[in-house]
Amino acid sequence: MTASLARRSDSRIILVVLDGVGGLPRGGTTELEAASTPGLDALAREGACGLTIPVLPGVTPGSGPSHLALFGYDPVVHEIERGALEVYGVGQTLDADQIGARGNFCSIDEKGIVRDRRAGRLSTEENSRLCALLSDKIRKVDDVGVQFIPGKEHRLVLLLTGEGLNPMLTDTDPHEEMKHYAACAAVDPRAEKSADVVNRLTEQALSVLRGEKQATGIILRGFSGKPDVPTLRDLHLLTPCAIATYPMYKGIASLVGMDIIDCGNTLLDQVVSLEGVFGRYDFIYFHYKATDMAGEDGDFDRKVRLIEEFDSLVSRIRRLEPDVLAITGDHSTPALMKKHSWHPNPFLLVSPYARADRAVRFTETECSRGCLGTFEAKHAMSLMLAHAGKLEKYGA
Amino acid sequence: MTASLARRSDSRIILVVLDGVGGLPRGGTTELEAASTPGLDALAREGACGLTIPVLPGVTPGSGPSHLALFGYDPVVHEIERGALEVYGVGQTLDADQIGARGNFCSIDEKGIVRDRRAGRLSTEENSRLCALLSDKIRKVDDVGVQFIPGKEHRLVLLLTGEGLNPMLTDTDPHEEMKHYAACAAVDPRAEKSADVVNRLTEQALSVLRGEKQATGIILRGFSGKPDVPTLRDLHLLTPCAIATYPMYKGIASLVGMDIIDCGNTLLDQVVSLEGVFGRYDFIYFHYKATDMAGEDGDFDRKVRLIEEFDSLVSRIRRLEPDVLAITGDHSTPALMKKHSWHPNPFLLVSPYARADRAVRFTETECSRGCLGTFEAKHAMSLMLAHAGKLEKYGA
């Protein structure tokens, strides 16, 4: 609905996503509560606070849905197929004449039986070498361009480019070991050309990989076409960019039409990049990955330190004087659980038009006292746009 | 949506529904605030708290919608027809070859005019006698089996069993006194056989009841077929049961696929039953009716005592160590109002993965400080499933 209210303005928004920042208590305090965060706390006192529900109560999101929600999309409506996310996740995009799939290097015996779906968890280096080899040997199948893009360990992405491709295809991955790899079949008659291409390149890959020690074949799953997501430029008349270090987040940002800013790998590199591009964009998505990784590792103390590291730099972000500075998580990753969770995230929004409230720290419990209440993350974008004067009045 | 994320696990959930527990202040304190509840308060401090909106803000629910919501169904989508609820409420079920209706014993004069729609509020005993009489005299109409099931006072349920029945029928209840009872008409051509059966059994009932002093006829309304509600087994892969003493709640529980556990009538009986079956089910719905009845009677002090009675037993429930223990009301029944109301209910959830918050008592005001916020009751099931590890991640 807010798309119809879009209004161009000179104001600037910075959205900082501290990945997986929400936590659960150890000895009575969460990671955020245990951290010393004078910078964030000052912003919490100055701004409006609340808690965001990533998707719906109780629903643990992947990074795709949780980020789409923060960018203002209903994550239940805009379900991005896994194959597409994987393509974007390795830093590629999908155009209208392309389809993609995720896949594995695997061990296939001479009878076509998949002995090990992960080829002994191939090293990432070996994966890169084999993708380069395959891409070199199998450049085209008829008029269809073929690219093999390495992921981590045994994972790869297949990208096909050509006329008349269609992703309504079944997997070649048998999803179980000691089974023959499957023939790709068209679920829709319009996908028959694509099925034929996939089957032929699978055979060709077997030939190319013959004699390799670990990976002797590939299996594919989750074929996807270009996701049908309107861009932030179209929806909200924004000129958006992303400052992120990991391919997955650059991918999602690119999916919604953000420019991807080159930056180094450290948080300081990211802040310096932000300072460099601040004047050129009116919506900047700033992604901090480290907090999530510490949570996934179950490392409470490291997560605390990484939160403190961000806090030490937050004043430099504030100093840019964006019209709206919003800071939140995309989901919780409590060290206690070592994985994503459904728990709501602290959210703070600083702007001359933010109503200050009783929250005095940037923590789960303090933000639950905030005036924004506990709300679904998909509303965060409207709140940012509104505080930046980028939304017209609704109705007369 | 969460149905697609269902994941079987060994974890166990107990949902305690304190019927109508929410209240309004008398002299500054609600029933829950006036009660001494050390057990519930300890759980509130340990767990995550919030307030549940039964259906939508301002909507006062009947027991059907309010329970369906707590069981995870959208009560606006799954509107169970009143006739069906009545059938389940007297402890019967509806199969695919059955239709049911609710009705009244009434006083009908020799010209067919309904003189008293409730036959002078017949006694429940007299009702039972007459239902037995009718069921004995009118066992079948053609090939359709006929059962008359007594409710309270003048209320009864008609249950028809046979091939080709269809509930698209108009009422025989004229809904006003001093009017002739109505002929049942088929709203859909496929219901013509059913209309004929209803009209013939209505005539036969008049014959059977001729000469009775109070009730000389029956009037019927709200014909319903088997409700289209997926079960909790199908939706969430649960093995659920219900520990409830009143037919209505057993009925709703049975409608969503719960096993109904035999138990005595006291709260202690119910707790003993719970202890007995705890190992065999992974979702146990425990219903405490007394609080609602005291509210309906406008008896503030009795409601306080009944809350305290439950509190004295809550530690026995806690001691079973369910992975998730959720306690809430299905709706409020403030003694001040003597009836159901729309006010939100306190909700608490105890689990190793529940984020403790600032709520220190199980009261309306304290739970409003909780980290779960104020949410629609239909989300309670997702929250319970999530905390029990019974939901997969959504998206990549």
Out of B199, B224, B249, a domain closes at: B224
Give the pair of three-digit tokens for residue A246.
């990991």
Compare CB distances from A56 to B382, B387, B396 and report the shortest one's residue.
Answer: B382
Average pLDDT estimate for A255-282:
95
Are residue B96 and residue B234 in the same domain, yes or no?
no
Residue in A closest to B4 by C-alpha: A59
Taking CB atoms and an 8 Å cutoff, what residues of chain A touch B367? none
To the nearest whole number, what is the mean pLDDT of chain A? 95
Nearest to B16 by CA among B387, B342, B322, B248: B322
State the pLDDT at residue B359: 95
Residue A396 placed within a domain: no
As given in the structure block, the two tokens for residue A334 are 């409590």
Dist CA A161 CA A219 (whole Å): 19
Q: Is B96 helix (H, G, I), strand (E, B) or coil?
A: coil
The rounded percent of chain B whose pLDDT value lies above 70 is: 100
pLDDT of residue B158: 96
Residue A173 has pLDDT above 80, yes or no: yes
| Residues of A whose CB is below 8 A from B358 | 365, 368-369
Contacts of B385 in chain A (CB under 8 A): 58
Contact: B387, A58; criterion CB under 8 Å: yes
Note whether residue A392 is domain-resident.
no
Which of A58, A76, A374 is closest, CB to CB, to B373?
A374
Determine, for residues A344 and B373 on separate chains, whether the beta-carbon distance falls below 8 Å.
Answer: yes
Q: Which domain holds residue A118?
A: 84-224
Among B2, B355, B356, beta carbon nearest to A58:
B2
Mean pLDDT along residues B231-258: 93
Query: How does DSSP classify residue B280?
Result: G
Instruction: For chain B, give the percent of residues with pLDDT over 90.
Output: 86
Residues B146 and B69 both lie in one domain? no
- Whether residue A123 lies inside any domain: the answer is yes
Q: A224, A257, A280 — which closes off a domain?
A: A224
Percentage of chain A beyond pLDDT 90 is: 86
- A297 with A214, same domain: the answer is no
Q: For residue B169, what pLDDT is reported?
A: 96
How many domains, chain A? Answer: 2
Is residue B71 one of the residues assigned to a domain?
Answer: yes
Contact A86 B396 (CB under 8 A): yes
Please name every residue paired with B145 in a beta bridge, in sequence order, or none if there are none: B140, B161
Query: Measured between alpha carbons, how far is A103 from A330 in angstroms, rounded to an integer?
Result: 27
Given this model, what pLDDT does residue B303 score? Answer: 98
B196 and B321 co-located in one domain? no
Of A315, A341, A272, the residue nearest A40 (C-alpha): A315
Chain A nearest-CA residue for B3: A59
Q: What angle do CA B107, B108, B112 make, to 5 degrees?
A: 170
A378-394 pLDDT, tens digit per residue, is 999 999 999 999 999 99
A interface test, pick of B1, B52, B328, B394 with most A CB neighbours within 10 Å: B394
**Distance between CA atoms of residues B232 and B238, nearest Å:** 6
Q: Which of B217, B184, B185, B182 is nearest to B110 (CA)?
A: B217
Question: Residue A246 has what pLDDT?
Answer: 86
Record: contact B391-A58, CB cut-off 8 A: yes
User: Which residues lie closer than 8 Å to B219 by C-beta, 6 or more apart?
Assistant: B103, B104, B106, B114, B117, B171, B172, B173, B174, B181
Identify the band that residue B246 occupies on the pLDDT scale cut at 50, 70 and 90. Answer: confident
Residue of B nearest to A30 (CA): B355
What's residue B85's pLDDT?
A: 79
Could you report the per-residue pLDDT of A107-127, keeping only the tens digit for each? Answer: 999 999 999 999 988 999 999
> Which among B355, B369, B391 has the least Cβ separation from residue A343?
B355
Domain assignment of residue B394, yes or no:
no
Given a cut of 90, is residue B25 above it in pLDDT? Answer: yes
Q: What CATH number does residue A374 fall under?
A: 3.40.720.10
Residue A27 burial (C-beta neighbours within 10 Å; 0-12, 13-18, 19+): exposed
Place of tokens 């808690």: A51
* pLDDT exceeds 80 at position B126: yes
Q: Which residue, among A73, A229, A338, A368, would best test binding to B if mutated, counting the most B CBs under 10 Å from its CB?
A: A368
Mean pLDDT of B14-32: 98
Nearest chain A Cα distance for residue B352, angstroms: 9
Chain A residues whose beta carbon lies within 8 Å of the beta carbon of residue B357 = 365, 368
B396: in domain? no
- CB within 8 Å: B355 and A364: yes
Asked whether residue B81 carries a pLDDT value surpassing 90, the answer given is no
Q: Does this complex have an ipTM over 0.95?
A: no
Residue B233 and residue B356 share a domain: yes
CA distance A183 to A18: 42
Question: Does the pLDDT of residue A251 top 90, yes or no?
Answer: no
Residue A82 has pLDDT above 80, yes or no: no
CB contact under 8 A, B394 and A65: yes
My answer on whether A233 and A382 are in the same domain is yes
Q: Which of B219, B223, B160 is nearest to B188 (CA)?
A: B223
User: Is A132 inside any structural domain?
Assistant: yes
The reply to whether A13 and A31 lie within a common domain is yes
Question: Are residues A174 and A206 located together in one domain of the fold?
Answer: yes
Residue B393 lies in a domain: no
Distance from CA of A60 to the nearest CA of B (A): 5
Write out pLDDT tens, residues A144-161.
999 999 988 899 999 999
The Cα–Cα gap between B293 and B5 comes to 38
CB atoms A364 and B387 under 8 Å: no
Per-residue pLDDT tens for B288-318?
Answer: 999 999 999 999 999 999 999 999 999 999 9
Q: What's the gap in Å between the CA of B358 and the closest CA on chain A?
A: 7
Which two tokens mark A20? 């997986």
A73 Cα to chain B: minimum distance (Å): 14
pLDDT tens, position by position, B313-360: 999 999 999 999 999 999 999 999 999 999 999 999 999 999 988 999
| Å between A366 CA and nearest CA of chain B | 9
Nearest to B357 among A57, A64, A365 (CB): A365
Residue positions counted in chain B? 396
Q: Do B130 and B250 sit in the same domain of this protein?
A: no
Tens digit of each residue's pLDDT (9 = 90 or more) over A62-73: 989 999 999 999
Contacts A56 to B, Cβ<8 Å: 1-2, 379, 382
Name the residue of chain A whose CA is nearest to B385's CA: A58
Please say if the pLDDT value at position B89 is more than 80. no
pLDDT at A92: 83
Question: Which of B355, B382, B383 is most worth mutating to test chain A (most A CB atoms within 10 A of its CB)?
Answer: B355
**Last residue of a domain, which of A208, A224, A240?**
A224
Please check whether residues B96 and B69 belong to one and the same domain: no
Question: Residue A61 in contact with residue B395, Cβ under 8 Å?
Answer: yes
pLDDT (0 to 100) of residue A124: 92
Q: Per residue in B367-396, pLDDT tens?
A: 999 999 999 999 999 999 999 999 999 987
Rounded CA-CA distance A86/B185 in Å is 59
For residue A63, which residues of chain B lie inside 8 Å, CB to CB? 396
Above 90 in pLDDT, residue B78?
no
Tokens 């602290």, residue located = A346
Whether residue A157 contacts residue A221, with contact meaning beta carbons closer than 8 Å, is answered with: no
pLDDT at B318: 98
Return the ∠ at Cα A211 (arms to A207 and A217), rounded to 5°: 50
**pLDDT recorded at residue A223:** 93
The predicted structure's pLDDT at residue A288:
98
Helix (H) or strand (E) holding A361: none
B207 and B113 share one domain: yes
Q: Is the pLDDT of residue B91 over 80?
A: no
Mutation target to probe the B interface, by most B beta carbons within 10 A, among A32, A51, A56, A90 is A56
- 3-class DSSP assignment, residue B152: coil
Task: Say whether both B216 and B265 belong to one domain.
Answer: no
A56, A60, A342: residue with CB nearest B1:
A56
Residue B381 and residue B73: Cα distance in Å, rounded?
9
Q: Which of B357, B391, B393 sits opposite A368 (nearest CB)?
A: B357
In DSSP terms, which residues pair with B373 in a beta bridge? B50
For residue B319, what are its two tokens? 């001691």
Q: CA B99 to CA B228: how far, in whole Å? A: 13
Enumerate the residues of chain B whose CB falls inside 8 A of the CB of residue A340.
393
